[in-house]
Chains A and B, each alone.
Chain A
Amino acid sequence: MTVSTTHSLTVPPGLVIAPQLPDLLQPVKVRRGVLGFLRNHPTVAIGGALLLCLVLIGIFAPYLGTVDPTAIAPAKRTRAPSADFWFGTDLLGRDIYSRVLFGTRVSLTVGLSVATLATLAGLAIGLVSGFVRWADSILMRFVDGLMSIPPILLAVALMALTRGSVGNVILSITIAEIPRVSRLVRGVVLSLREQPYVDAAIASGTRTPMIILRHILPNTLAPMLVQATYVCASAMIVESILSFIGAGTPPTIPSWGNIMAEGRALWQIKPYIVFFPAAFLSVTVLAVNLLGDGLRDALDPRMAKSL
């Protein structure tokens, strides 16, 4: 703090001049609109842009110079990356570039489906257990039980019982993720129920469904959105792990985990078979995590500086 000591005016004796105070309130440039939001939160922009690229790659996979990802060509086995085969070929002569690009579809489908399904199911369970006292103790005992099974093992146990298909993979991972989301929603609901505006709504005779719809649901959206991105990232990793250990999508479907599982036996001499799907997986998960971190900072400014 600087105190003005230069007195240009003749000051009557005994009069104290107040020190010049620094501008406590710096003018803040308010950025509005989508672009403004993205400039304020660069991690959302970076993560979102990366994810958008990957979604586009997934959608337009057939038009990006790919060939049939399941076409076998025994004469062209395990070729190193070259101008003809950008990412090389695998044990059966299949083009890894095409397989990795088509694999984007599997990963994104699994990630987004699990995030949506687990969020909706968790929201339903969390709302019920936050509002219905007698259901709460029963539901939460089950959630506690499910939460004490490590999610990957739970998904593995479920997959061991069913036929490998993308639908079953989504279902298994969703079941493994639901407990965490339910816990989160329940926590948010319980704290919201203590808010004065909810008391006011109850006092003025608002029915419970309306209170949930008007006052509770909108406030759970922000933490749910953030949680959904983490569920999505985790689901994509679990999907690739399941495929990698042979309990995921059937080997006929080119998913990143499957490509890596097939390249596993040869990784010491042909590392590129494992490398490319691994790189795509890492970038995708990173994009989703960046998006999640950015959204958390943007939606909950109190948390922004701490985590």
Chain B
Amino acid sequence: MVSYILRRILATVPVMAIVALFVFSLLYIAPGDPAAVIAGDQASPADVERIRQSLGLDRPFLVQFGSWLWHILHGDLGTSIFTNLPVSSLIAQRIEPTLSLMAITLVLTIVLAVPLGVVAAWKAGSWVDRTIMTFAVFGFSLPVFVVGYVLAYVFALEFEWLPVQGYMPLSEGFWPWLENLILPAVALGCVYIALIARITRASMLEVLQQDYIRTARAKGMGQGSILFIHALKNAAVPIVTVIGLGIALLIGGAVVTESVFAIPGLGRLTVDAILRRDYPVIQGIVLLFSFLYVLINLLVDVTYTLVDPRIRY
């Protein structure tokens, strides 16, 4: 198993290399002079030249890529063109709200979606199943900001139960932190809950038809332990896979959710960077999120061996 984990970790190296190459060459694939693209429409030739110098764009492509990669491997993501601050420190300032939001959404999703999917599979074909699956289709179709605005309007403006917008760092206390993240997490989690509930149901339906479930029933086991001990454990692999893959939805959705709820996280940093054409910041964020995504899916692959001892590599 150790050799499998090592091989799996090594396999992520070429993937990350491709991501890095792609993120880096984006600037060169785009039509026109990269320095002029970054400088924007109102830049003077002197500005363009300054950017060319500061980014080293006058050197050959491979030399640039090599030096860029070298710096990244040392934790240096470059310098923001707009603020002149290191990208890594900009990201460090903004990462807490985003990670908090994603963590709460993840917990909320797993706590809600898995039981919903299990119940839907157990009562397959009944009105309970149909109601849950109808909600899943809706959850899948409602864009993040639509859910966000509706939730904020109802629970924050009308009922005034929760704050409308903003963020409190965890250092200000647990409840203020959580209170500000409930609505954004529900909004962000909608699509994700729908996805996981559907895959849980599909995976459970397959397992529930197996002989050992009938055996468990025949020996008089309770419904709850059949569903959650025998069936869910065997249905876990596809569910865990989709939870891992779905992180991509969370990352994309976080950008929008942070805009709707005015959360000063990486999503807002992205939006600001786009408006200012601050390309090094965008590169840094894309790279960081991709790394996070690859890392989480690596963890998911490793969990398989723990969840399902039948899997041997």
Contacts and interface: CB of A to CB of B under 8 A. Distances in A.
Interface of A: 141-142, 144-146, 148-154, 156-162, 233, 237-238, 240-241, 244-247, 260, 264, 267-268, 271, 274-275, 278-279, 281-282, 285-286, 289-290, 293, 305-307
Given A156-B282, A160-B282, A240-B145, 17 more contacts: A141-B14, A148-B16, A148-B294, A149-B286, A149-B290, A156-B255, A158-B26, A160-B274, A162-B30, A244-B145, A245-B256, A245-B259, A271-B149, A281-B146, A286-B138, A289-B137, A306-B201
Contact of A241 (B21, B248, B255): B255
Contacts of A244: 145, 256, 259
A123 B185 CA distance: 36
A271 B29 CA distance: 40
Most chain B CB inside 10 Å of its own CB: which residue of A151, A156, A162? A156
Contacts of A286: 137-138, 141-142
Contact of A271 (B22, B31, B153): B153
B274 A159 contact: yes
Contacts of A237: 143
B18 A141 contact: yes
A247 B276 CA distance: 11
Nearest to A236: B143
Nearest to B146: A278
A157 B252 contact: no
B218 interface: no
B277 interface: yes
Interface of B: 14-19, 21-23, 26-27, 29-31, 37, 124, 137-138, 140-146, 149, 153, 157, 164, 198-199, 201-202, 205-206, 248-249, 251-253, 255-256, 259-260, 270-271, 273-275, 277, 279, 282-283, 285-286, 289-290, 293-294, 297
A216 B233 CA distance: 37
Contacts of B17: 145
Interface of B is mostly: helix
B111 to A, nearest CB: 22
The secondary structure that dominates the A interface is helix
A247 B206 CA distance: 43
Nearest to B19: A145
Contacts of B137: 286, 289-290, 293
5 closest Cβ contacts across the A-B interface?
A: A145-B18, A152-B252, A161-B30, A286-B141, A150-B248
B245 to A, nearest CB: 9
Contacts of A150: 248-249, 251-252, 289-290, 293
Nearest to B245: A147
Contact of B285 (A153, A158, A289): A153
A162 B140 CA distance: 30
Given A241-B256, A271-B153, A157 B141 contact: no
A95 to B, nearest CB: 21
27 contacts: A144-B15, A144-B18, A145-B14, A148-B15, A148-B294, A148-B297, A152-B251, A152-B252, A153-B289, A156-B255, A156-B274, A160-B277, A160-B279, A238-B252, A240-B145, A241-B255, A246-B275, A267-B149, A268-B164, A275-B149, A281-B146, A282-B143, A289-B137, A305-B205, A307-B198, A307-B199, A307-B202
Contacts of A141: 14-15, 18
Contacts of B27: 161
Nearest to B294: A148
Contacts of B145: 240-241, 244, 260, 278
A180 B166 CA distance: 35
Given A145-B22, A161-B26, A161-B279, A285 B290 contact: no
Contacts of A233: 141
Question: Of residues A158, A161, A244, A286, which shows the largest number of chain B Cβ atoms within 10 Å of its Cβ?
Answer: A161
Contact of A247 (B153, B253, B274): B274
A142 B289 CA distance: 18
